[in-house]
């Protein structure tokens, strides 16, 4: 036979777990400065959950005005913050407005209901709103992880969100199937005890899962810093060389590739005349103008100074020439605006494709570099193969 002490013990375990998670997320946000907005949102979600269950457990001890309605609003706030934290972790966008609207609507709806005797409609509002909020967050996580995550962050990490959504939906459905059952979480019923056990497991699992996603986001950021040029956000020389070697390995298996070497014309003159800040701005602008020509499968890297290179998989010399000519026209069409004056920009391009006799990718790069020097010798702002 299930006793009230069993349900209260389970509720206390969930409160302790949520309170501990609150401290952990606060430490991540305030001390470690890891995903601070997302971590603070998760801390708020756990704090609201712990406080809501605490107020539920004190019904009958404290006045109902301090326990019933505030506990239900805090429960909705907990799920709303959870739903906002998931996209904040995955995309760095915190959708706080939908969360605030959900809490306000639920609070107003429950404020109009009597808190005494039958409180099934309060249970249905809290459970229904929680199920919807968490399900939407689960779908967003599933889509994002399916579209962008690698093998280290599979889409199945969104499953705990769907389980919590199902858990809350079941609690709402039960209020219709068994209308005589008290909706109080302290009620010694088999369903309540089972839901509390599941809630404890889900609290631990969900916090662990989202902490893992935060960790993977941090690792991804570190990896990006290691492979990106800090000025232009293109691949640095080391990362580009690795991509080039991989492309050459695929070339030995029959997959063609070409490279486009790019060198900004008269860059030293620009630096000497307008200053190094203008030179940095010119490089930024050139990269921005070239980006529309770079496909998702291509690799765009900075080799050093004003010299860049684009790796074009599955592309021959003719395709590379078309891409390079489009790039040349885009750079030439937009002068640099600096200190109320326009400075004309242009770049020279050398292209080459991998050939059967190439022992390594360096041979392809050397031919493209030689073509680039010929382009410079021909007067600059030209494409040479």
Three-state DSSP at 94 gives coil
What is the pLDDT, as a whole number, of residue 224? Answer: 79
Do 243 and 221 sit in the same domain of this protein?
no
Do 290 and 265 sit in the same domain of this protein?
yes
3-state secondary structure 367-380: HHHHHHHHHHHCCC
Specify the range with the lowest mean pLDDT, choosing from 163-167, 221-225, 337-341. 221-225
Do 350 and 218 sit in the same domain of this protein?
no
307: annotated active-site residue:
no
CATH of the domain at 136: 1.20.1070
- 323-361 pLDDT tens trace: 999 999 999 999 999 988 889 999 999 999 999 988 899
230 within domain boundaries:
no
Do 303 and 338 sit in the same domain of this protein?
yes
What is the pLDDT, as a whole number, of residue 191? Answer: 65
- 298 phi and psi angles, rounded to 5 deg: -80, 165
- 74-106 pLDDT tens trace: 999 999 999 999 999 888 888 889 999 999 999
Confidence of residue 317 (pLDDT cuts 50, 70, 90): very high
DSSP line for 315-380: --HHHHHHHHHHHHHHHHHS-EEETTEEE---EEEEEEE--TT-SSHHHHHHHHHHHHHHHHHTTS
173 within domain boundaries:
yes
Of residues 195 and 246, more confidence is placed in 246
Closest CA to 125 of 114, 109, 101, 138: 109
- 276-306 pLDDT tens trace: 999 999 999 999 999 999 999 999 999 999 9
210 within domain boundaries:
yes
232 within domain boundaries:
no
231 within domain boundaries:
no
Do 298 and 183 sit in the same domain of this protein?
no
What is the pLDDT, as a whole number, of residue 237? Answer: 93
Do 90 and 160 sit in the same domain of this protein?
yes
Sign of the Cα pseudo-torsion (70, 75, 78, 79, in order): negative
Do 296 and 204 sit in the same domain of this protein?
no
Closest CA to 202 of 13, 28, 24, 5: 13
Do 217 and 193 sit in the same domain of this protein?
yes
CATH of the domain at 354: 3.30.70.270
Classify residue 35 by its DSSP letter. S
* Residue 128 · residue 116 · CB < 8 Å: no
Find all residues with CB under 8 Å of 238, minimum gap 6, and list them.
227
Mean pLDDT of the 31-49 span: 93
Do 145 and 221 sit in the same domain of this protein?
yes
Question: 257: domain range?
Answer: 237-384
Do 205 and 267 sit in the same domain of this protein?
no
Specify the range with the lowest mean pLDDT, choosing from 51-65, 80-94, 124-138. 51-65
57 within domain boundaries:
yes
If one counts the domains in the chain, the total is 2
Asked if residue 151 has pLDDT above 60, the reply is no
- 197-218 pLDDT tens trace: 878 888 888 898 888 888 888 8
What angle is formed at CA 360 by the lines to CA 351 and CA 352, rounded to 5 degrees? Answer: 10
Closest CA to 262 of 345, 355, 356, 359: 345
What is the pLDDT, as a whole number, of residue 196? Answer: 78
Asked if residue 319 has pLDDT above 90, the reply is yes
Do 124 and 268 sit in the same domain of this protein?
no
Quick one: what percent of the chain has pLDDT higher than 70? 93
- What is the enclosing helix (H) or strand (E) of 168? helix 159-177
Do 59 and 152 sit in the same domain of this protein?
yes
Of residues 149 and 225, more confidence is placed in 225
13 within domain boundaries:
yes
Question: What's the whole-number average pLDDT of the chain?
Answer: 88
Q: Point out the domain boundary residue: 191, 225, 259.
A: 225
Interhelix angle 237-251/190-227, rounded to 10 degrees, is 100
- Candidate list 227, 245, 289, 306, residue with the active-site label: 306
């Amino acid at each position: 036979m299930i006793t009230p002490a069993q349900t209260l013990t389970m509720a206390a375990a969930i409160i302790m777990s949520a309170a501990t998670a609150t401290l952990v997320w606060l430490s991540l946000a305030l001390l470690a400065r890891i995903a601070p907005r997302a971590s603070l949102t998760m801390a708020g979600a756990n704090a609201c959950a712990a406080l809501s269950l605490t107020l539920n457990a004190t019904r009958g001890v404290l006045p109902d005005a301090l326990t019933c309605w505030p506990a239900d609003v805090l429960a909705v706030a907990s799920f709303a913050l959870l739903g906002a934290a998931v996209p904040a972790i995955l995309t760095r966008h915190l959708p706080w407005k939908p969360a605030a609207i959900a809490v306000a609507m639920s609070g107003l709806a429950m404020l109009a209901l009597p808190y005494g005797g039958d409180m099934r409609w309060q249970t249905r509002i809290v459970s229904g709103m929680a199920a919807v909020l968490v399900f939407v967050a689960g779908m967003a996580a599933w889509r994002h992880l399916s579209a962008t995550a690698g093998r280290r962050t599979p889409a199945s990490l969104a499953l705990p969100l769907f389980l919590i959504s199902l858990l809350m939906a079941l609690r709402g459905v039960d209020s219709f199937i068994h209308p005589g059952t008290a909706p109080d979480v302290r009620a010694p019923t088999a369903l309540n005890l089972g839901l509390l056990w599941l809630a404890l497991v889900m609290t631990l699992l969900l916090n662990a899962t989202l902490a893992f996603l935060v960790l993977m986001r941090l690792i991804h950021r570190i990896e990006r810093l290691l492979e990106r040029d800090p000025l232009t956000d293109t691949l640095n020389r080391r990362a580009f060389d690795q991509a080039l070697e991989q492309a050459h390995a695929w070339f030995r298996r029959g997959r063609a590739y070409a490279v486009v070497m790019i060198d900004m014309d008269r860059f030293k003159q620009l630096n000497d005349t307008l200053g190094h800040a203008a030179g940095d701005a010119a490089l930024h602008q050139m990269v921005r103008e070239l980006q529309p020509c770079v496909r998702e499968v291509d690799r765009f890297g900075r080799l050093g100074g004003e010299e860049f290179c684009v790796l074009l998989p599955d592309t021959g010399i003719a395709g590379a020439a078309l891409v390079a000519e489009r790039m040349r026209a885009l750079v030439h069409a937009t002068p640099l605006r600096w200190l109320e004056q326009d400075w004309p920009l242009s770049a020279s391009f050398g292209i080459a494709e991998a050939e059967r006799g190439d022992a390594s990718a360096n041979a392809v790069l050397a031919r493209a570099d030689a073509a680039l020097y010929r382009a410079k010798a021909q007067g600059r702002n030209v494409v040479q193969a």
